[in-house]
Amino acid sequence: MLSVLLGLTGAVVYGAADFLGGVAARRVRAVTVAAVAAAVGLVPLALGAAAVGATFSGPAVAAGIGAGVSGSVAVLLLYRALAVGPMSVLSPLTAVFAAITPVVVALVGGTVLSLAASIALVVAVVAVVLVAAVRDTSGARVTAVGVVTAGVAGCGFGGIVLAYDAAPSDAGVATLLVGRLVQTVLLGAVVVVVAVRSGSGRPGPSGRPGGTDHVAPSASAERSAAGVRRGSRRSDRPRRRGPLGLPRWSARTMVAVVACGVLDALANACIQAALHVGSGDGVLPVVSVLNALYPIGTVVLAGVVLRERLTAVQWTGIALAFAASVGLALA
């Protein structure tokens, strides 16, 4: 029961972080939002280390490095996938792979699930697809490259859960800290490279001169640091530029990114706690699938704050997610 509650809490908080990251990405390049939010997330984790402790053993550090690398690669591949294909297809596909990758690993490792838990997990995966489904008006076509890239990105997000599961139970927030530090360094390096290439007029990550990201974060994004989430275009109004050609941020954008980083760090802590407070071999697949329900938080906030209307399909997904969560708690 506690693992289910923590897993759901982590998913909802992830969704809130995604929403804030998506709002910020309307004004700032998405990878920059992800990198800065990752750096911000180091602060609450450092405070958590002082409060609950952190044991930097070899396995804890190794798990953290795995989480940081996996998350960074996943979010960059997601950007690439959404740049070459329709979000309405690739966003849910990424979420599904993020959900089922740890499940497959657990089953191959010998985990045996009850019939009730298996049914609930299948229902939850269906809910992930329905909630993550978004309208796409870009006219982009589904290509093999886009599908493979989205699938690998989803596996990367699932790899974060696997890394947290591999962390020693006495690690405290050590694994989270190491993972966030690695992610900050890797995404920060990408931001610098993109900025330099933009300044030289060479094509950026989107394949356009100047490196403009025409795809803002989607709800299936980052499990890694921050906010590449829902697909809204950034404003085309000219923006003042700062060091390395990066845009100067408004106070509202900065607040959104800071809140995104703090919430994302909290969500990661919830997921790691969910993996280690439960007992039995079935904890990993349950937490993995619950973690993939994070689009719920994003779409609900988009409806409340931005007045975006949820579709009947998304409402159905939310209802199924609730039913699956109850089923997992009782299984």
Q: Where are the chain's structural domains?
A: 2-330
- Identify which has the larger pLDDT, 243 or 62: 62
Confidence at residue 143, expressed as pLDDT on a 0 to 100 scale: 84
Cβ atoms of 152 and 77 closer than 8 Å: yes
Q: Is 110 left (phi over 0), alpha (psi -120 to 50) or beta?
A: left
pTM (two decimals):
0.81
246-293: pLDDT as tens digits: 556 788 889 999 999 999 999 999 999 999 886 666 789 989 998 888
Judged by DSSP in three states, 98 sits in: helix
- Identify which has the larger pLDDT, 270 or 309: 270
% of residues, the chain, pLDDT over 90: 38
191-239: pLDDT as tens digits: 999 888 876 554 444 443 333 333 333 333 343 333 333 333 344 344 5
Mean pLDDT to the nearest integer, 103-113: 88
Provide CB contacts within 8 A for 189, sequence distance 6+.
Answer: none
Q: How far apart are CA 76 and CA 222, in angstroms?
A: 9
